[in-house]
Each structure stands twice: as structure tokens, then as C-alpha cells.
Amino acid sequence: MHLEVSDEYVEVRLARWEKILGLMGDIRVPRAAVSDVQVVHDPLRAVLRTGLKAGLRLPGLYYVARSIKLDRAWVLRRGVQAVSFAVDDGGVLRHVVVSAPDADAVAQQLRAPLAPA
């Protein structure tokens, strides 16, 4: 898994095995559609409270999963904090939580205003 933030997009690129076992593809959302950015210090604990999920779930270790409604996505690893953000681009996906070793820096980058086009 690789998280990339540009001026135009936030992209979560999954390894082939993550796509197959996680039952989902890469996530790419317009940067302008991202809001409510938070750092989650214990994301694996938080994901357990969110209800039914479909995909790769190794409780306490690893999650590459979507909610049954497909409106939430999690790509999480044990021991790695995560960045959580809302998505409002008119699609089905409404919320993403993704592990990032540099979650504080990523969150700060996502909160920064976009450069004028």
C-alpha cells in the first residue's frame, strides 16, 4: 500500500494481493473533495467499532476492507497510525482511513489550502 497526496488527488495504491484479498481497487479522490481530516492513533481499535466489513480482515493485524454499503474504506496495519478523511465528490465513497507512518505530516498537507489553479 502506498499513500500519495498531490495538489489534484489523494491516492491509495494497493498491491495486487491487497486488491484481490481486499475485494477493492485503488482509491483515488480529488483533493478538493477531502475534508474532516484527522489523525487516528489506534486505527485498528477504531475499525472494530464500525460494523460489517467486506475484504481482507486480520483482526488486530491488518485491514483492507470496505463497509457493506461501500461508503467507507480502511487500509490499516498494526502499529501504524492512520489518516482519516471524509470524501464528498458525488460518488459512493464517503470516508477513508489509511495507515501512514507520517500520518501527522500527511494530515497537515491535506488540511493546507489548495494552491489557486
Q: Regarding beta strands 95-99 and 72-77, do their DSSP bridges make them parallel or antiparallel, or are they unpaired?
A: parallel
Element (H, E) at 65: strand 62-67
d(Cα 65, Cα 4) in Å, to the nearest integer?
19
pLDDT band at 44 (very low <50, low <70, confident <90, very high): confident
Q: Which of 11, 38, 5, 47 is nearest to 26 (CA)?
A: 11
What would the mean pLDDT of 17-39 be, rounded to a whole number?
93
pTM of the model: 0.92
Phi, psi angles (nearest 5°) of residue 100: -155, 120
Domain ranges in the chain?
2-111
Q: Which of 6, 16, 21, 22 is nearest to 73 (CA)?
A: 22
